[in-house]
Amino acid sequence: MNIQKWFKQGALAAVSALALISSVAAHAEDKFIVVQSTTSTQNSGLYEYLLPLFKKDTGIDVHVVAVGTGQAIKNAEKCDGDVLLVHAKAAELKFLETGYGVKRTDLMYNDFIIVGPKSDPAGINGMTDAAKALQTIASKKAIFASRGDDSGTNKKEMALWKIAGIDVKAESGKWYRETGSGMGATLNTGIGMNAYVLTDRATWINFKNKGSYEIVVQGDKDLFNQYGVTLINKDKCPMVKADLGQTFIDWLLSPKGQKIIDGYKINGQQLFFANAPKQ
């Protein structure tokens, strides 16, 4: 009888231990968030640098979905994610207006540039007026490779074409080529066809396949590139991990997080410049 009792107690203890282990494992697996973000932050290498530091401080894993800003916002509106980190302020504010975002905050910035081959078929190297450079590209019918994916970069490009007074949709498939892909892939495609490309500077700095390409247009105030971060609204999306998501946002906006963003450099070049409001 004592032996039976001992086995019974041992079995109960084993079951309790397994339940505890399962509970701890499930909790550990649950301590992650999904960030809907852009290909530029991914292609730049920022997340590889930043996320391990965040996890070290908080124990929270971050799973990044890197797509164009337009798609990232659509994904967030489908409640796929906890945090939105993109670079198209007008679209981000609209996301807030629909109730899907709790609060948007400026996080960091860099700028856009136009890159092209050293042969410079359009003769725009050294220009600082982006719209005039695009007008020249169009007049020379020099090949231009566009992402064409409703990303933040593509939204900026379309705004610049509008300033330039050029209807590029009418030229689609001619000198104006749309890749429908991310920044890195568009750069690879553009270089392959000897085309000019609008890209964010951070992706360009980290891009390994530059070949004979160089920056040909930069320095225009219209090329400013602001990134923002927004918590997805739990009232709209009940599965949102609001506490963990807010922890990530608070860390990014904190003096430490901002210093880490400023500290990300490649070959001495700073890729992003933190500009969150002072806390």
- The verdict on 93 and 124 lying in the same domain is no
Q: What is the pLDDT of residue 2?
A: 54
- The verdict on 236 and 180 lying in the same domain is no
Residue 39 covered by a domain = yes
Q: Is the pLDDT of residue 101 over 60?
A: yes
- The verdict on 100 and 175 lying in the same domain is no
| % of the chain exceeding 70 in pLDDT | 89
Q: What is the pLDDT of residue 278?
A: 86
Residue 150 covered by a domain = yes
Our count of domains for the chain comes to 2
Residue 160 covered by a domain = yes
Q: Is the pLDDT of residue 3 over 90?
A: no
Residue 179 covered by a domain = yes
Q: What is the pLDDT of residue 24?
A: 40
Q: Is the pLDDT of residue 110 over 50?
A: yes
- The verdict on 118 and 105 lying in the same domain is no
Mean pLDDT of 61-79: 96
- Look up the domain containing 189 and give its range: 111-223
Which segments of the chain are extended strands (E)? 32-38, 61-67, 83-86, 101-117, 144-146, 176-178, 196-200, 213-217, 224-232, 265-266, 269-270, 273-274
Mean pLDDT of 223-230: 98
